[in-house]
Amino acid sequence: MRKKVIAGNWKMNMLPNEAINFIEEFAPLVKDTKHEVILCVPYTNLFYCLLNIQGTNIKIGAQNMHWEESGAYTGEVSGQMLKSIGVEYVIIGHSERRQYFAETDETVNKKIKSALNVGLKPIVCVGETLEQREKGITEQVITNQVEKAFEGIETTDLEKIIIAYEPIWAIGTGKTATKEDANNTIMQIRKKLAEKYGQNEANGVIIQYGGSVKSSNAKELFEMSDIDGGLVGGASLKAEEFSKIVKFDE
């Protein structure tokens, strides 16, 4: 049985004092959950969050990293830097980074390898645009993204990686994929992994859904056979709302 993993992606939101207040309110609300809870926060909040989650069941992730360990890359942050302060997870290849910051399948692949090298757990995002969906090429686009992201990734690393299927047209729009659609696409991702790594290995991989998840739709989505939780944007910014998503089955 795969566990459910619910991750918040705060994107470019929350000042340190807001982050600290959030954790103070949120931690007691989710302390008894059996699901894994992750907050992926801006770089400037990482240290505050890491201090404030001590003694709780909340894990902290970053939202991006560079693939080199160090060097002349002004403005970048490496996986080693994240790891050194106690960060556990890192989002890689979010569609907003692919769209606005020239992230490609190749840089996604390099970042995944680099994250694994320093002991960070990548949350790898894939997803199709509305145009691709309307053309009926969703499966092709997604399996291609998965293939390129996982190039050269060993079977033994699979258990350290989370995949988030986030249809781009569903992000921040209030439109969610139907639970059947989301589940089907995630099954395609699993099938692709099975071809490469074997069915047993593929069955163990956590694959989340992301895109306008909120407390009112989390249960129906997360109870589907292949949806192993969610990567939540807007609705992860309010402690009470996000706690309801984490506790979708209570």
Residue among 28, 119, 172, 198 that touches ligand 13P (CB under 6 A): 172
Judged by CB under 6 A, does residue 166 bind ligand 13P? yes
Q: Taking CB under 6 A as the rule, which mask of x and - marks residues 105-134 in contact with ligand 13P?
A: ------------------------------
Judged by CB under 6 A, does residue 39 bind ligand 13P? no
Distance of CA 25 to the CA centre of its chain: 23
Residue among 64, 185, 188, 212 that touches ligand 13P (CB under 6 A): 212
Judged by CB under 6 A, does residue 232 bind ligand 13P? yes
Q: Inter-axis angle of helices 239-246 and 16-30, to 10 degrees?
A: 40
Which residues, other chains included, contact 146 with Cβ-Cβ below 8 Å and sequence gap of 6+? 126, 163, 189, 192, 193
Residue among 22, 234, 246, 248 that touches ligand 13P (CB under 6 A): 234
Instruction: State the catalytic residue, choosing from 36, 96, 103, 166.
Output: 166
Give the Cα separation of 215 and 198 in Å (integer): 35
For residue 38 the two structure tokens come to 């992750």
Per the annotation, the verdict on 240 as an active-site residue is no
User: Positive or negative CA dihedral for 179, 185, 189, 192?
Assistant: positive
- Binding segment for ligand 13P (CB under 6 A), chosen from 80-88, 181-189, 194-202, 207-215, is 207-215
Per the annotation, the verdict on 94 as an active-site residue is yes
For the CB of residue 57, give the shortest distance to ligand 13P in the complex, in Å.
21
Q: Which residue has the tokens 């099975």?
A: 194
Residue 122 carries which DSSP code? E
Active site residues: 94, 166
